Chain A
Amino acid sequence: MMIIMRLGASKEEVKNVVARVKSFDLDAHLSDGSERTVIGVVGDGRPVDKNLFIRLPGVDNILPISKPYKLASREFYPADSLVPIGEHKVGNGSKVIIAGPCAVESREQLMETAKAVKAAGAHALRGGAFKPRTSPYSFQGMGEDGLKLLAEARDLTGLPIVTEIISPELVPLVASYADVLQIGARNMQNYSLLKAAGLTDRTILLKRGMSATISDFLMAAEYILSKGNQNVILCERGIRTFETATRNTTDINAIPVLKSLTHLPVMLDPSHSTGDWRFVASLARSGIAAGADGLIIEVHPDPSNALSDGAQSLKPQRFATLVEDVNAIAEVLKERNIVPVPIQ
């Protein structure tokens, strides 16, 4: 990191900072500018906390140089990680599509949707049994009964199951039914949940928090990785901005940015990132064109009567068209050998 001294910081103050740096077995590199002094802190790669220096007399500002995440970083693992969802591998240009209802509502609804998304070409089935709803009065999910229905849908279709975990004590239960544990946007910084997910061997689908920066997002992944679970898939799902025309603002930049910063696979959720079924197909295409490794899409046989997220859910037929369109874009990328992020 770089420690920027105040204009007019005294020699003693500079000396004091240098001594503090050395006291942590780090090296200090001084550069005296015409106006102010900058002290470079050189270490051995261990993370250094800027709080160690920020309150010392004469210090104006501290600029971190190294990234705060390590296991998630492409600098440490340059090749693309391939993360399993059932028999499929996500990453390195895979175009894996997860689809299904926002929530498991009934046996008929789930089996019908599972068969339809399978027929349309989906690789995995999503469906929430434990739902983190903004309002405590909204439908909270079917709980373990929902998990049983998801397992039944897997038996019926062969599709692996992606479902959300919302608290650490539920992790063993959900992991006994599901192939992929989803951590939703609201829980991206629920650190006890991240640690619990990190102690399982299930694939984790980690969604970006609605006001999380890309760096925050990678730090959340780092929590899971640091507990020993290397199977993490990142998912952009829109962030909160001033724009109200859509439910969220899709940070499409995050796709190539993440692909350059991390070896982990990156997916897009065009349903939550727009909140409006009319725009889901456009966004799905744009995500794949930007280099996403896959998509997660809400599908419901009867969106008007869905218990949650009806506005953004696609009917099965429209989902089938979307899959064809997305495959056409994926084909172009493959033919032209287009990588998500070019190198100089």
Chain B
Amino acid sequence: MMIIMKATATKEEVENVHQRIKDLELQPHQISGAERNVIGVVGDGRPVEVTAFIRLPGVASVIPISKPYKLASREFFPENTLIPIGDNHVVGNGTPTIIGGPCAVESREQILEIAQSVKEAGAHALRGGAFKPRTSPYSFQGMGEDGLKLLAEARDLTGLPIVTEVTAPELVPLVADYAEVLQIGARNMQNYALLKAVGETQRTILLKRGMSATISDLLMAAEYILAKGNQNVILCERGIRTFETATRNTTDINAIPVLQAHTHLPVILDPSHSTGHWEYVSALARSGIAAGADGIVVEVHPNPALALSDGAQSLKPKRFKRLVKQVNAISNALKAEDISTNPLQ
């Protein structure tokens, strides 16, 4: 990191900063400018906290140089990591992974009907929430373990692996019993107890970006899971909060190539939450794949008008089927042009 001294800093203050750096077994490199001094801190790759220097007399600001995440970084693992979903599918191998299903499991008929139709449309996994983190405590909170049982039944019926959300650390063993992929939702991206708990399982984790999390925050959340020993993490952009109100969220499409450049983990897009309107979901799904996403997770419901949650953004099965074809056609065009998902290649 670089320590920028105030223009008025005294010689003693500069020396004091040097001493502090040496006390931490790091090397100071002094750059004396015409107006002010800058001190470079050279270490051995261990993370150094800004707070170790920021309150020393004469210090104007401290600028980190190294990235705060390590296991998630492409600098440390240059190759794309392939992450399994179930026994027969991997994410990140250049063919888009399609996860489809309802926002929430509502009934046996609903989940089995959707499971069959998303399977038929070409999905690789079934999503569906049994434990729902809803903004309002009065909204439908999910079917709980009964929902998990229905998801398992849908898997038996279709062979599709199950992606479902886990909302609290104590639920992790229960949900992991039923599901192949544990989803951490946007609202829980910085629920560190939950991140640690899923890091101790060997399930694949689908980590969604928090709605006001920077890309660096998202990678630090992934780092929590990786640091606990679980290497199977998929990142998911799902729109961030901005001043724009025409859509539910603002899709940070930049995040797709930026993440692909910074991390070896697969990156997928959720075009349903990132727009909040079914009309725009297909356009966003195409744009995500064209930008280099490794897959998409899309909400599908046989009767969106009567859905208990997210009806506005859910696609009917027929439209989902068309979306899958479009997305695969875009992906084939990328392959034909030899376009890598990693913008640095």
Mark A residues whose CB is within 8 Å of B: 211, 213-215, 238-239, 241-246, 249-257, 260, 273-274, 278-279, 281-283, 285-291, 324-325, 328-329, 331-332, 335-336, 338, 340-342
A212 to chain B, nearest CB (A): 9
Task: Tell me how many residues of B have a C-beta within 8 Å of chain A.
Answer: 50
Binds A, one of B108-116, B166-174, B222-230, B245-253: B245-253
What is the distance, in angstroms, from A289's C-beta to the closest C-beta of chain B? 4
Cβ of B283 and Cβ of A325 under 8 Å apart?
no
Cβ–Cβ contact A253 & B280, under 8 A: yes
Task: Write out the residue numbers on chain B whose beta carbons fall within 8 Å of the beta carbon of A238.
Answer: 254
Q: Does B279 contact A249, Cβ atoms closer than 8 Å?
A: no
Which stretch in B16-24, B132-140, B335-343 binds the other chain? Answer: B335-343
Q: Which residues of A contact B81 (CB under 8 A)?
A: none
Q: Knowing A245-B215, A245-B254, A288-B290 are in contact, say whether A341-B244 is a contact too (CB < 8 A).
A: no
Question: B337 touching A325 by the CB < 8 A rule?
Answer: yes
A239–B250 contact, CB under 8 A?
yes
- Taken together as a complex, chains A and B put the C-alpha atoms of A160 and B287 apart, in Å, by 29
A-B contact pairs, 27 of them (CB 8 A): A213-B243, A213-B246, A239-B243, A239-B244, A241-B250, A242-B212, A245-B216, A249-B254, A250-B254, A251-B242, A251-B244, A253-B239, A253-B251, A256-B275, A257-B280, A278-B261, A278-B344, A282-B256, A283-B257, A286-B256, A289-B290, A289-B291, A289-B330, A291-B283, A328-B336, A332-B333, A341-B279
Expressed in whole angstroms, the Cα–Cα distance for A149 and B216 within the complex equals: 43
B97 at the interface (CB under 8 A from A): no
CB B147 to nearest CB in A, in angstroms, measures 29
- Say whether A282 contacts B291, CB under 8 Å: yes
Whether a CB of chain A sits under 8 angstroms from the CB of B289 is yes
Establish whether residues A336 and B215, one from each chain, have CB atoms under 8 Å apart when the complex forms: no
Top 9 nearest A-B pairs (CB, nearest first) are A289-B290, A286-B291, A290-B287, A282-B257, A256-B283, A286-B287, A252-B253, A289-B286, A285-B290
Shortest beta-carbon distance, B67 to chain A, in Å?
A: 11
Consensus secondary structure, chain B interface: helix
Question: CB within 8 Å of A: which residues of B?
Answer: 212, 214-216, 239-240, 242-247, 250-258, 260-261, 274-275, 279-280, 282-284, 286-292, 319, 325-326, 329-330, 332-334, 336-337, 339, 343-344
State whether A286 and B253 are in contact (beta carbons under 8 Å apart), knowing that A243-B240, A253-B274 are contacts in the complex.
yes
CB within 8 Å for A211 and B243 given contacts A274-B254, A281-B343, A286-B253: yes
CA A283 to CA B256, docked complex, whole Å: 9
Question: Is the beta-carbon distance between B333 and A279 smaller than 8 angstroms?
Answer: no
Partner of B292, one of A253, A255, A282: A282
Q: Are A289 and B287 in contact (CB under 8 A)?
A: yes
Extra pairs beyond A245-B254, A286-B256, A328-B337 (14, CB < 8 Å)? A243-B215, A244-B214, A245-B255, A250-B252, A250-B253, A251-B250, A253-B250, A255-B283, A256-B284, A278-B344, A282-B257, A328-B336, A340-B283, A341-B279
Given contacts A245-B215, A285-B290, contact A290 B242 (CB under 8 A): no
Contact of A342 (CB < 8 Å), options: B244, B282, B325? B282
Query: Distance (Å) between the CB of A203 and the closest chain B CB?
Result: 25
Cα distance, A286 to B296, chains bound together (Å):
14
Most chain B Cβ neighbours within 10 Å, of A239, A249, A282, A287 = A282
Known: A243-B215, A282-B343. A287 touches B287 (CB 8 A): yes
Q: How far, in whole Å, are A251 and B250 apart by their CA atoms in the complex?
A: 6
> What number of A-B contacts does a CB cutoff of 8 Å give?
155
Q: A339–B212 Cα gap in the complex (Å)?
A: 32
Q: Measured between alpha carbons, how far is A300 from B255 in the docked complex, in Å?
A: 25
On chain B, the residues within 8 Å of A286 by CB distance are 253, 256, 287-288, 290-291
Q: How far is the CB of A133 from chain B (nearest CB, A)?
A: 23
Chain B residues within an 8 Å CB radius of A246: 254, 258
Q: Are A243 and B257 in contact (CB under 8 A)?
A: no
Contact of A252 (CB < 8 Å), options: B245, B279, B284, B344:
B284
Whether B254 and A283, one on each chain, are in contact in the complex, defined by CB atoms closer than 8 angstroms, is: yes
A70 → B minimal CB distance (Å)? 18
Distance between Cα atoms of A278 and B342 in the complex (Å)? 10
Which single member of B252, B261, B286, B319 contacts A338 (CB below 8 Å)? Answer: B286
Least CB distance from A115 to B in Å reads 24
Tell me how far the C-beta of B237 lies from the nearest C-beta in chain A, rounded to whole angstroms.
11
Most A CB within 10 A of own CB, among B250, B283, B292, B337? B283
User: By the criterion CB–CB under 8 Å, are A329 and B330 in contact?
Assistant: yes
- Identify the closest chain A residue to B256 (Cβ): A282
Q: Contact between A290 and B337 (Cβ–Cβ < 8 Å)?
A: no
A291 to B275, CA, bound (A): 15
Most buried by B among A244, A251, A260: A251
Residues on B with C-beta less than 8 A from A245 are 214-216, 254-255, 258
B244 near A214 (CB under 8 angstroms)?
Answer: yes
Residues of A within 8 A of B279 (CB): 256, 260, 341-342
For B216, B291, B332, the residue with the greatest tally of chain A CB atoms inside 10 Å of its CB is: B291
Given A213-B244, A243-B240, check contact A290 B283 (CB 8 Å): yes
Chain B residue nearest to A281 (CB atoms) is: B343
Give the nearest-CB partner of B274 in chain A: A253
For residue A283, give the distance in angstroms from its CB to the closest CB of chain B: 7
CA distance A249 to B247 in the complex (A): 15
Point out which of B240, B289, B329, B332 has the most chain A C-beta atoms below 10 A from its C-beta.
Answer: B329
Interface centre among A238, A252, A257, A341 (most CB of B within 10 A): A252
**Whose C-beta in chain B lies nearest to the C-beta of A249?**
B252
Residue of A251, A285, A328, A336 touching B326 (CB-CB under 8 A): A336
